[in-house]
Amino acid sequence: MKKTKVSTIWLSGCSGCHMSFLDQDELLLELAKKIQMVYSPLMDIKTFPENVDLTLIEGAVANEEQQNLLKEARKKTKILISLGDCAVTGNVTALRNAWSDSDQAVLKKAYMEKSNKNGQIPTDVPKLLKKVRPIHEVVNVDYFIPGCPPPAGVINYVLTELLAGKTPNMEGRSKYG
């Protein structure tokens, strides 16, 4: 049986959504019979592959590197899922948007004001976007799984339905926070 190629991406989030993915526990064994992981922070693969069937995205888009990876993943993926409140709404990652110059303000706060001595803003890190954005503001999203983190059971439900060629019914399953 041909396996469904699945990837997961970690943008600006706390990794809690990936932990929830792993919290599927023994249900992962059932999934493993049907899917082949082809890209993930859980694996050591540097380049996003071609012809991915399904990609789950954790985290909001906060810098140019993430924005580029997200656009590449969208081009190379059939079904793209926004996973967790940071991906769906921006959530805590987007708190810096309250500052008008949020990209500069957060760098100054982290590297200068909180430094005991010789604080300096690094130049070798990806350029921050002016505003943190949820996934659907950058690319088209096929399905949303909110939650902080999304419950493992809901992640498993959505994946199981999609692998069966069905459309997940999120009524009563979508919960923020």
Task: Tell which positions 131-150 bind ligand SF4, by CB under 6 A.
Answer: 148-149
Q: Cα torsion for 148, 73, 75, 160, to the nearest 10°?
A: -60
Q: Least distance to ligand SF4 from the beta carbon of 147, Å? A: 7
Residue with smaller CB distance to ligand SF4, 13 or 24: 13
Cβ at position 120, least distance to ligand SF4 in Å: 28
* Residue with smaller CB distance to ligand SF4, 34 or 97: 97
Spatial distance between the Cα atoms of 88 and 73, rounded to a whole number of angstroms: 17
Bridge partner list, 55: 7, 80
HSE-up (13 A, CA, CB side) for residue 68: 7
Q: Which is nearer to ligand SF4, 4 or 11 (CB)?
A: 11
Whichever of 14 and 107 has its CB closer to ligand SF4, that residue is: 14
**Burial code of 70-101, b = ≥16 C-beta within 10 A, e = fewer?**
beebbebbeebbbbbbbbbbbbebbebbeeee
Strand residue runs (E) in 101-156: 128-133, 143-145
Stretch that binds ligand SF4, among 14-22, 99-107, 119-127, 155-163 (CB under 6 A): 14-22
Does position 92 bind ligand SF4 by CB under 6 A?
yes
Candidates 8-16, 25-33, 97-105, 115-123 — which segment interacts with ligand SF4 by CB under 6 A? 8-16
Amino acid at position 61, single letter:
V
Euclidean distance between CA atoms 166 and 158, whole angstroms: 9
In the complex, the smallest distance separating the C-beta of residue 119 from ligand SF4, rounded to whole angstroms, is 27
11 lies in the binding site for ligand SF4 (CB under 6 A): no
Query: Does position 86 bind ligand SF4 by CB under 6 A?
Result: yes
Residue 90 within binding range of ligand SF4, rule CB under 6 A:
no
**DSSP conformation class of 63:** E
- Binding residues for ligand SF4 (CB under 6 A): 13-14, 16-17, 58-59, 84-86, 91-92, 148-149
